[in-house]
Structure formats: C-alpha cells, structure tokens
Amino acid sequence: MSYNVLCSFERFRGRERDDRARCAPAAAARLTHNEAQGGWVLLAPERIFKADAIATEILKRCTGEATFAAIVDDLAKTFNAPRDLVLADVSKLLAGLVEKKLLEL
Amino acid sequence: MANSDATTLHKPLGLLAELTHRCPLGCPYCSNPLALDKRADELDTATWMRVFKEAAGLGVLQVHLSGGEPGARRDLVEIASGARDAGLYTNLITSGVGITTRTMRDLWEAGLDHVQVSIQDADAVSADHIAGYKGGFQRKHALAAEAVRLGLMLTVNLVVHRANIERIGAMVDLALALKASRIEIAHVQYYGWALKNRAALMPTREQVERAAAEVEELRLRHKGKIVIDAVVPDYHARFPKPCVGGWGRRSLNVTPSGKVLPCHAAESIPDLEFWNVRDHSLEDIWTSSPAFNAFRGTAFLPEPCASCDRREIDFGGCRCQAFLLTGDARATDPVCHLSPNHGLVAELAEVQEDLAYAYRR
C-alpha cells in the first residue's frame, strides 16, 4: 500500500479552461467526511486528497450538474469574494485533481 | 530535521483487512505468513463490522478487503456493506477466483468502490503454473469483465518475478484489454512464502534493469490512458522502501484471527506483542499496544540512519526486512546502500536457482 497525498497544483496553471465544463468525482473517487481527520476528503484507490475549507466548498459543488462558470459565480456570491480570485482558486484545484484522476470533466 | 518523537501519534489512513487466509491459489510469492490462520479462528461478521466503525472513528479512510482470497468468506457482501456503512472507501483485493459474477453484482450494489485483480502472467499456461491452479487465468478474465461492465473501476496488479519479468509489456496489454483504469506493477517483496521461494523467484540484475526501462517506456506510451504505479524491486534498490509510510503512522492490518499488526509482515519479528480486536478496541491498540509502539518515530534508529537526511523519508526502511536479513529489527534495512550489511543483499540478489516452487498451501 502506498498513498500519494496531493498538495501541489502549481504545475497545472495555465491549462486551457472551459467555462461550460461540468466537474464530478472520477468513476472510482468519492468525497467523504471523516470526523477524526477533521473534515472532507476526496478518495480514490491509493490516493487521498484532504480538502481544506476552500477546497471543500469547491468540491461540494462538483456534482456533475453545475458548470465551471456557475460554480465560480456561486462561490463568489456566497463568500462575497472577487470573481477573479475565486476563478484562479477553482481552476488550480480542479486542474490538479483532474490530472490525478480524482475528478472528471 | 529532528528525529520524530515516538509520542507524536498520527492518525491512520488505511486498514488492510485480511478476512481469511484461505485461497484457492498457491502463488509462491504470497506475503502471508507460513503458518496460516485456520477457518475456525476467523473473526465473525459482527466483529468485522465493529472494527470498521472503530477504524473510521480513528481516522481510517480506506479499507482494503484482502486475504487470502476474500471471496472464500460467505459473508463477503455483508462485510463490504458494513465497511461502506462505516463511511470507508472500500477496495476489494481479489485473485479473481472464487467470486462469482453474482457476488460481484451484490458487492457493487453494497457500494464497493474499487476492485483490484491480480494476474500472474500474460501467458495462460505460465499464469496457471505460477498460481498452482488450472483455469485460474480464464476465471480472472470473467470477473474483471463483470466488474468493468458494472462500472466499477478496476486495477490490475501484476506481480513480477523471474518467470514473467520478460512479459511485462504483454501483461500491460492484457490489463488494457481487460479495461483496467490502473495498473500496479509490483516486483515481489520477500516475506512469508516469497522469502521461502526467494531463489526461485529472483530475477537477474540485467532483467531488472531491462524491466525498469520498459516500465518507463510503457508509462510514456500510455500516459493519459492508464495510470501505471510501480513498486521497485527491493533487493536491487539503492534506498529502502519507507516501512508502510512509517511504523504505526499511517496504516494498520487486521489478521483473519483478529490480531492487529503495523504491517502484514510484522509477525516475522519475534517477541513483538500484538493485541487482538477480540480483547481491545482498535483505538486502544493503535495508541497503546506494545507492537505499535515498538518502532514508532525514528529515535530508535542507529547509525547510519540516525544522522541521515532521509530518515524522515524512509524511516530506515523496513523493520521486518532488517530483522529477516540481519537478525536485528532496529538495524538499518540492508537494502540501503549505506547499510554495513548491504553486501548481503547484493549477494542474495545474485542467487537464482531453478527450484520447484513451494506453493502456498
């Protein structure tokens, strides 16, 4: 058994983005809550991504229904945050998780 | 970097649940102990359910239902369902023999998250010879196909040794044909039955080098299509593997009879006191059992580990291997080229004998 805990998404910056894309956990991945680990975790075989507060808010909206643009709008509104900043956070997180096959577009 | 303190208690992430030691196959590289637990001593369904709940409460996120062959348990579906209800990401590790397509469907309905099937070789005759079981090769195909048809994600596990190391490419092609999403290419690690069969399994250095280059090439060729994870061949490495991510740090293992071990091979170290889930809660065991506290942290490590920059990366390597090869469980894993005993590993890596397999029975 070996676990790759994912933490760095820097290298995925600048990937092409599609505002209409819908994002959901990959076929074998699941978002789950664990009290002892202190929150929400995205799980796939041999891979674990512990979501911080921001990542949790993003991942909870990745249900395959809302589009990328709608998720960004919703987060910006809910947290009264600049859309550009939210967009950067969401892009960075999703690109990294897609690359690691934890999410699917 | 300071030596990590044994009193820093981490939360475990993974639980390996060895539901049974029974298995129709007899693979000579099995890492189960030579003295296998008997059916009469296996934990019952209710106890496994309790263990899963306690595990989730302790922080465990993933459970690997393994064995032996987990399909040998008649209550496998109930057990998987209990793991899922406890909130655990549930992974089935199977030989593919002994689980019917009907059971596979029931497991999927119970919420199983992922299936891992092992294949012994790309060549059917060789595969069945390695497994010591006629017709196993075909039955694995049927099970893998059913899992994929249901929409379950499939990992194919290839255990590599001298008899199949020349066919890694063909085995990867087979995994692709089975529609696997992930391939694990794992060189044999020498514990339990594999240790007993070491000279019959050991590849030559040239084979290992060719295989490493081939795996790199396969990774590039299939990038984006399939994830290939590789486990390096211990005896040919320069640095040791990081003892299950640190002894008593990230994972625990429950044996068929309920003993809780820091790793599946831990019973090879004599005089360790393991506690049983029949007598203690999992939390109590994780926190206080003598076996879990025996090698926590890095403070116990001798030189050259004590002053090594890698001590928080690989924790001095595998405690079991240190014991099996040097007789001292606290020693530097002799796989490390910095170990004073590394010469021994180099010597053993050169021993190839065409012996009949001692099948795991």
Would A73 be classed as within a structural domain? yes
Q: Which pair of tokens denotes residue A11?
A: 């290298």
Residue A80 lies in a domain: yes
Most confident of B3-12, B174-183, B222-231: B174-183
Say whether pLDDT at A16 is over 70: no
pLDDT band at A24 (very low <50, low <70, confident <90, very high): confident
Average pLDDT over residues B271-275: 96
Indicate the length of chain B as a whole number.
361
- What average pLDDT does this structure show over B187-192? 94
Q: List pLDDT tens digits, range B55-82.
A: 999 999 999 999 999 999 999 999 999 9
Predicted confidence (pLDDT) per residue in B92-116, tens digit: 999 999 899 999 999 999 999 999 9
Nearest to B317 by CA among B307, B327, B301: B301
pLDDT in tens, B129-175: 999 999 999 999 889 999 999 989 899 999 999 999 999 999 999 99
Yes or no: say if B71 and B93 are a contact pair by the CB < 8 Å rule. no
Query: What confidence score (pLDDT) does residue A44 get?
Result: 87
Q: Do A28 and B245 touch (CB under 8 A)?
A: no
**Chain B residue numbers touching A41 (CB-CB < 8 A):** 61
Average pLDDT over residues B18-43: 95
A-chain CB neighbours of B155 within 8 Å are 45
* A72-to-A25, A49, B107, B154, B352 alpha-carbon distances in Å: 17, 21, 37, 33, 60
Angstroms from B60 CA to nearest CA on chain A: 8
CATH number of the domain encompassing residue A48: 1.10.10
pLDDT at B237 > cutoff 50:
yes
Q: Is B312 helix (H, G, I), strand (E, B) or coil?
A: helix
In chain A, DSSP finds a helix count (H) and a strand count (E) of 3, 6
Nearest-by-Cβ selection for A36 from B59, B64, B182: B59
The answer to whether residue B339 scores a pLDDT higher than 70 is: yes
Q: Residues A95, A80: contact at Cβ < 8 Å?
A: no
If you average pLDDT over every residue of chain B, what do you get?
93
Q: Which residue in A26, A41, A101 is closest to B61 by CB distance?
A: A41
Residue B34 predicted with pLDDT over 80: yes
Tell me the pLDDT tens digit for each residue of A57-78. 999 999 888 888 899 999 999 9
By the 8 A CB rule, do A59 and A75 touch? no
B271: left (phi over 0), alpha (psi -120 to 50) or beta: left
Q: Which residues is B184 bridged to in the sheet?
A: B157, B229
Q: What's this model's pTM, rounded to 2 decimal places?
A: 0.90
Please say whether the beta carbons of A61 and B130 come within 8 A. no
Residue A71 lies in a domain: yes
Q: B261 in helix, strand or coil?
A: strand
**pLDDT value at A4 more than 70:** no
Contacts of B45 (CB under 8 A, 6+ apart): B75, B78, B79, B82
Position A1 pLDDT exceeds 70: no
Which of A4, A32, A34 should we substitute to test contact with B (largest number of B Cβ atoms within 10 Å)? A34
Quote the number of domains for chain A: 1
- Distance in Å, alpha carbon of A77 to nearest chain B alpha carbon: 32
ipTM confidence: 0.79
Q: What is the mean pLDDT of residues B262-273?
A: 94
Spatial distance between the Cα atoms of B305 and B319, rounded to a whole number of angstroms = 13
Say how many CA atoms lie within 13 Å of B238 toward its Cβ. Answer: 1
Is a pLDDT exceeding 50 seen at residue A13?
A: no
In the predicted structure, residue B273 carries a pLDDT above the cut 50: yes
Is residue A3 one of the residues assigned to a domain?
A: no
- The 10s digit of each residue's pLDDT in B3-26 is 555 557 899 999 999 999 999 999
> What's the gap in Å between the CA of B210 and the closest CA on chain A?
24
Say if A105 falls within a structural domain: no
CA-nearest of B13, B17, B12, B14 to B254 is B17
- A37 part of a folded domain: yes
**A30 located within any domain:** yes
Does the residue A104 lie in any domain? no
Q: B38 CA to chain A: closest CA distance, Å?
A: 25
Domain with A31, as residue range(s), is 8-99
